[in-house]
Amino acid sequence: MRLNRLFPAAVLGAILHCSAIAAPMKLADYLALSGPAPTATVRYGSAPSQYAELFLPAGGGPFPVALLVHGGCWTKEFGGITQLRNMAGALVARGIAVWNVEYRRVDEDGGGYPGMYLDMHAALGALAAQAPRHPLDVQRIVAVGHSAGGQLVQWIAGRSRIPQTSPLYRANPLKVERIVSLGGLADLRNEAALIKTSCDRDTAQLAGTPSVARPDVFADTNAAELMPNGSRTWLVTGELDTISPPRVAHDYARRAQAAGDRAEVVILPQASHYDEVAATSPAWPQVLGVIERALDLPATR
C-alpha cells in the first residue's frame, strides 16, 4: 500500500512517525483529534445537536457517501462530531463524500429513547434531501459508527424491521445496507453488563422503560434483534480495545450470520478503542480499506 497516495506529505510524515513510536491512543489523544471544516452544515431539527456536517471532495462526482456517527458513551462528556472530522478529512481525500452526524445524547433534552433514534431517521432524511443539491450518490452509502455510534449505525441497518406499533417505525426508510462498526456496543440486551461497566449506561437510558404498549424495550432498539435485514456488517475492533473488546465483535457476527445476514470481524493489531477512528493511527490504512471495500471502490495501493 502506497501511503503517499492517501495523504499529503506532512500528514504522511505524522503517520510514519506514529507507526514507529506511538503507543496505542488513549482518551486524551482521541479528544485532541480534529480535522478540516465542513463544506456545509445542515440542520435537521431545532435542538442544538440536531445537525450534520457535509464534506465534499474536489471534482464533479457523483461521490459515494460515508455516513459517520460518533461515539462517546451516548453522552456529551466524551467529544464526538469534532473528533470525527479527522476521519472525514481522510475520506474526502479519497474521493468519498462525508455526512458527519450530530445527535441528541442521553444528557441532552430529548435525547436517549426515542430522541436519538428519531435523530438518526431525520439525519438520513436530510441526507437524501441533499442529493439533488450536491453530487452525492445515495445509492452508494456506508454507515460508519464508533462505539455508541456503532450501536446507532447497526440499528440503522435494521430500520425496516421495526414493528409498526413502535414510535420509531418509518415506512420506506432510506436503505443503508453497508455498515462499518468501529468498536461498536450494539447488542443492548446481551451486552447490558458491558455497557454499564464501559460507559455507565443503563438499558432505560438507551432503550426506554417497559410499558403495556411496549413491553419489550429491545424490540425496536436492539440491532441484534432487527435481523435478518439484508445488511453486510464489518465489525472492526482494536486488539487492545477494552471498551468494546474483540469478543463483542465475534459474538455479534455469530448472531448476524445465524440470522442470515453477512458479518465480518476485522481486528486491528495493537490498536485501542481510539486508534479505530484516527487517520494518523497506524490502524487507519486497514480501517480505510474496509470502508472502501464496503463502497465497492478499487483497492488502495
| pTM reported for the whole predicted model | 0.91
Residue 208 above 50 pLDDT?
Answer: yes
- Give the 3-state secondary structure of residue 203: helix
> Cα(149)–Cα(11) distance, rounded to whole angstroms?
26
> Averaged over 247-273, what is the pLDDT?
98
> Cα(238)–Cα(242) distance, rounded to whole angstroms?
9
13 found inside a domain: no
C-alpha grid cell, residue 14:
505524522
CA 96 to chain centre: 15
Confidence of residue 67 (pLDDT cuts 50, 70, 90): very high
CATH number at residue 124: 3.40.50.1820
Structural domain that includes position 210: 26-294
18 found inside a domain: no
pLDDT tens-digit map of 21-48: 478 999 999 999 999 999 999 999 999 9
Beginning with the edge strand found earlier in the chain, give each strand of the sheet holding 63-69 in spatial order: 40-43, 51-55, 97-101, 63-69, 136-146, 178-182, 232-238, 262-268
Residue 6 above 50 pLDDT?
Answer: no
140 found inside a domain: yes
118 found inside a domain: yes
Number of domains in the chain: 1
Question: Minimum mean pLDDT among 76-80, 111-115, 147-151, 292-296: which range?
Answer: 76-80
Residue 265 above 80 pLDDT?
Answer: yes
258 found inside a domain: yes
> Cα(262)–Cα(150) distance, rounded to whole angstroms?
16
Q: Which residues contact 49 (CB under 8 A, 6 or more apart)?
A: 102, 103, 104, 105, 108, 111, 119
Rounded to 10 degrees, the C-alpha dihedral 237/242/243/244 comes to 40
300 found inside a domain: no
> Averaged over 161-169, what is the pLDDT?
96
> Averaged over 269-292, what is the pLDDT?
97
Query: Which ranges of 115-202 does DSSP label H, i.e. alpha helix?
Result: 115-130, 148-157, 192-199
196 found inside a domain: yes
> Cα(150)–Cα(69) distance, rounded to whole angstroms?
7
The answer to whether residues 163 and 169 touch, using CB atoms and an 8 Å cutoff, is: yes
205 found inside a domain: yes
> How much is the pLDDT for 196?
96
pLDDT tens-digit map of 91-140: 999 999 999 999 999 999 999 999 999 999 999 999 999 999 999 999 99
